[in-house]
Structure 1
């Protein structure tokens, strides 16, 4: 799978395209990048911004889009109106998931978009979005409305949706009982998704969130599943944040779990087999892979849902997790006791 990040360069690798590359790598996908601006920043301070020329921006986009099959695009820092218009013209005809992360201000205080470009951002970038992921501050800027009550979440989300984004997620709208809520507005419904709140300033969580949503959408998850996946992914990155410089800790995505990665690769190849839907049984399919000498099903990675067929299409419904499968994992556990070299199983 190829995912493209369009955004600014952060030399500290805390945010921007460097952060997205780390996120994509951890999710076992190939990350491609198009740079819109070079920033001078670290974990303590924000220095200069220099936008790339329209000519090199267009050349980057054309180079990537003509060579690779892109399954999804994330748009982050765009900085000025010239950049915004080039991106719009190059992407407007694409029919793939596009996640817009409307970065306006860095954690260290730097402005990531010119004030004069916000109107063009609303006009050209927001309509490209399958989903837009502003935090509370960014949502207020884009809607020109203050969030001061629970009712205002929906009002502001609807205002942004009317600008053209199919779906809107406003992150961090409310904290209650050690939980933090994200407000989600889809085409015909709205709801909140909560998660544990970590009281820790960090650099990169917003980038991780939008990158994870893009990954989930490209994997054919629905909006609610994608937001839940991104929230869990981001929570782990904040929990594992490391103080690598003198200032704010940088979110840290744990090293890839090889068992998980091997199974993900195998599942990806499996669902792409021609006419594989004919082999999916009525009870649907699970695919599992274990550590060496597994003791329980918690040593075996499986799909928390199933590989399901819908007509002639095959979709992975659920996430990979240890203990995610019960029946197929139990069968593998029994077999591995006699044949320890067997570490994978699938039901067909």
Structure 2
């Protein structure tokens, strides 16, 4: 039987991030994708011009419809936007026992806010303890912990430990916002830490990298692989997708990565 995954996230009309990126990543990694939309954004490679949250009862109904029939093998959570949406998603997943990957989406690549300020506390107290893996970039980790961004690998490890103390079983600190020619991601689990490094690629086309990374990890978890292997596989896939992003060159701003780099160019 084919592995199945559910993404609970916002829609990106530009097709590079959110639900659209998640479903592309699921498909490119051999997993059947399902979705529950939390918000609709008017968005392109230049920025976000409007956000319309989906009514919470409709969000809950979407999740229930998928869980009661298709029964995903893993779930990825992205844009949640408001405290009410966070509470709704947590309630809908109360009886789900598969792996959950939480990408704490807060700011779009353009700099536009995708999580209300008043939703940060709800994110920390309600949904973080439900996550098997939390995948923050450095600014998101700092905002959750109410501290400055990690400047060294030691800082990143310390922040990962602080985040894990909030409830997630594992933390993936993404190093794309750090300085230097090498990007290093740090995975912290109960068993210890692992580093995944790659040469930084000089491109403006990195829209949707966080969504793609987390959904690819979820896809691999859905196929039954362990956490370290799932992250390692997703890290390699994302690096190749970023490397091929300029081949498709979508839009005038931050274009998307090439999810199907292994299939067409």
State the Cα distance separating 1:148 from its structure 2 match: 3.0
* Preserved CA contact (<8 Å) 1:240 1:254: no
State the Cα distance separating 1:150 from its structure 2 match: 2.8
State the Cα distance separating 1:175 from its structure 2 match: 4.8
Residue 82 of structure 1 corresponds to: 84
Q: Please report the TM-score for the alignment, with normalisation by the length of structure 1.
A: 0.71
C-alpha separation in 1, matches of 2:138 and 2:50: 25
| Residues 1:233 and 2:237 are matched in the alignment | yes
Residue 194 of structure 1 corresponds to: 197
Larger radius of gyration: 1
State the Cα distance separating 1:68 from its structure 2 match: 0.9
| Residues 1:245 and 2:256 are matched in the alignment | no
Q: Please report the TM-score for the alignment, with normalisation by the length of structure 2.
A: 0.92
Selected match of 2:54 from 52, 55, 60: 52
Q: Secondary structure at the match of 2:88?
A: helix
Selected match of 1:158 from 154, 158, 161: 161
* Preserved CA contact (<8 Å) 2:26 2:32: yes
Structure 2 residue runs of 5 or longer lacking an equivalent are none
State the Cα distance separating 1:132 from its structure 2 match: 0.7
* Preserved CA contact (<8 Å) 1:145 1:156: no
* Preserved CA contact (<8 Å) 1:38 1:51: yes
Q: Secondary structure at the match of 2:9?
A: strand
Q: Secondary structure at the match of 2:142?
A: helix
Selected match of 1:113 from 97, 112, 115: 115
State the Cα distance separating 1:34 from its structure 2 match: 0.1
Q: Deviations over 1:116-170 (max 9, x none)?
A: 0000001111111110110111111111122133322122111111111000010
Residue 43 of structure 1 corresponds to: 45
Q: Deviations over 1:57-95 (max 9, x none)?
A: 111111111111210000000000000001001112211
Q: Secondary structure at the match of 2:174?
A: strand
Selected match of 2:186 from 180, 183, 186: 183
Q: Secondary structure at the match of 1:156?
A: helix
Q: Secondary structure at the match of 1:228?
A: helix
Q: Deviations over 1:193-234 (max 9, x none)?
A: 211211223211111111111112222222221111111110
* Preserved CA contact (<8 Å) 1:181 1:193: yes
Residue 222 of structure 1 corresponds to: 226
**Aligned ranges 1:277-296 → 2 under 5 Å:** none
Q: Secondary structure at the match of 1:145?
A: coil
C-alpha separation in 1, matches of 2:113 and 2:35: 21
> What RMSD, in angstroms, separates the aligned Cα atoms of the two structures?
1.6
Structure 1 residue runs of 5 or longer lacking an equivalent are 259-348
C-alpha separation in 1, matches of 2:191 and 2:4: 30
Q: Secondary structure at the match of 1:105?
A: coil
* Preserved CA contact (<8 Å) 2:41 2:51: yes
C-alpha separation in 2, matches of 1:138 and 1:5: 20
Number of positions where the alignment pairs a residue of Structure 1 with one of Structure 2: 257
C-alpha separation in 1, matches of 2:119 and 2:66: 25
C-alpha separation in 1, matches of 2:146 and 2:188: 18
State the Cα distance separating 1:257 from its structure 2 match: 4.9
